[in-house]
Amino acid sequence: MRGLLAVGFALAWLSGGVSTARADDAPRGLAIARANACMGCHAVDRKLVGPSFQQIAAKYKGDAQAPAKLAHKVKDGGSGVWGAIPMPAHPAMNDADIRTVVDWVLGGAASK
């Protein structure tokens, strides 16, 4: 019986059914941003190559069109809003992941 429990746990973990404590510590939007190289240019709370996620949240606070604008910017790239350095397109990111990241950013980009 003990062997069956271990096998069941291993299968659940491999299929994503069991999360680790580290995965639970960070919001899903942050995890997706990390997995899609967003953190190479953005940080949660300080400017890198591009603005911090918290700066983006502040700039678009109260803008009802912000989710659509930012989703488009993530998917297709763009330039001019934050300076001369363009944001590269991320065409391989699926729309659900983009919405999750954008919602997380606009929600204040909490890191825990």
The parent domain of residue 66 ranges over 22-106
Count of domains forming the chain: 1
pLDDT surpasses 60 at 20 = no
Question: Alpha-carbon distance 92 to 18, whole Å?
Answer: 26
Question: Alpha-carbon distance 106 to 56, whole Å?
Answer: 7
CATH number at residue 97: 1.10.760.10
- Residue 2 pLDDT level (bands cut at 50, 70, 90): very low
Are the beta carbons of 70 and 60 closer than 8 angstroms? yes
For 25-76, how does the pLDDT look when each residue is reduced to its tens digit (9 = 90+)? Answer: 579 999 999 999 999 999 999 999 999 999 999 999 999 999 999 999 999 9
Q: Is residue 7 one of the residues assigned to a domain?
A: no
Q: Is residue 12 one of the residues assigned to a domain?
A: no
Q: Half-sphere exposure of residue 35, counting CA atoms within 13 Å on the CB side?
A: 15
For 68-105, how does the pLDDT look when each residue is reduced to its tens digit (9 = 90+)? Answer: 999 999 999 999 899 999 999 999 999 999 999 999 99
DSSP state letters, 12-78: HHHTT-S--HHHHHS-HHHHHHHHTTGGGTB-SSSBSSS--HHHHHHHTTT-TTHHHHHHHHHHH-B
Q: Is residue 89 one of the residues assigned to a domain?
A: yes
